[in-house]
């Protein structure tokens, strides 16, 4: 038979409390993670990030040449990625702006996911024990 402690760990109320609390020590980190997850929700933005990761800094025109997205679409997505902190715009020659990846926001999002995963390990183990 399960102990009361195991039952409490797996209760919906305890799970809800742990997963809705901010899993990161820095209160601003949750908003950074949210912006990253919102930006990553779009497959075109993920493709832009993958292209920048593979080929390095690029202009919107360069990216439009590599991806099946119009230059205007690329510019819109780059603005959202910049807002999330995932890319920065760097002035280039002849007023051409090059976009470069920024890794800090992605690391914060990874820490957020790792904290959530740690919070879920106990309840999932308790549920597995209960079901077996």
Q: CATH no. for residue 70?
A: 1.10.10.10
Q: How many domains does the chain have?
A: 1
105 is a domain residue:
yes
pLDDT at 17: 44
pLDDT at 118: 82
pLDDT at 12: 41
9 is a domain residue:
no
Show the domain range for 84: 26-131
pLDDT tens by residue, the chain, 132 residues: 444 444 444 444 443 444 455 555 577 888 999 999 999 999 999 999 999 999 999 999 999 999 999 999 999 999 999 999 999 999 878 878 999 999 999 999 999 888 888 887 777 777 888 888
Which pTM was predicted? 0.71
Give the span between the Cα atoms of 66 and 31, in whole angstroms.
31
7 is a domain residue:
no
């Amino acid at each position: 038979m399960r102990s009361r402690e195991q039952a409490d760990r797996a209760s919906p109320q305890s799970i809800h409390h742990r997963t809705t609390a901010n899993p990161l020590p820095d209160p601003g980190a949750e908003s950074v993670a949210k912006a990253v997850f919102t930006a990553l929700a779009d497959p075109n933005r993920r493709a832009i990030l993958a292209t920048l990761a593979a080929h390095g800094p690029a202009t919107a025109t360069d990216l439009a040449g590599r991806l099946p997205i119009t230059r205007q679409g690329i510019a819109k997505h780059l603005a959202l990625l910049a807002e999330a902190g995932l890319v920065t715009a760097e002035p280039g020659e002849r007023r051409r702006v090059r976009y470069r990846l920024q890794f800090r926001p992605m690391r914060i999002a990874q820490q957020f996911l790792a904290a959530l995963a740690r919070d879920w390990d106990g309840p999932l183990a308790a549920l597995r024990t209960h079901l077996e």
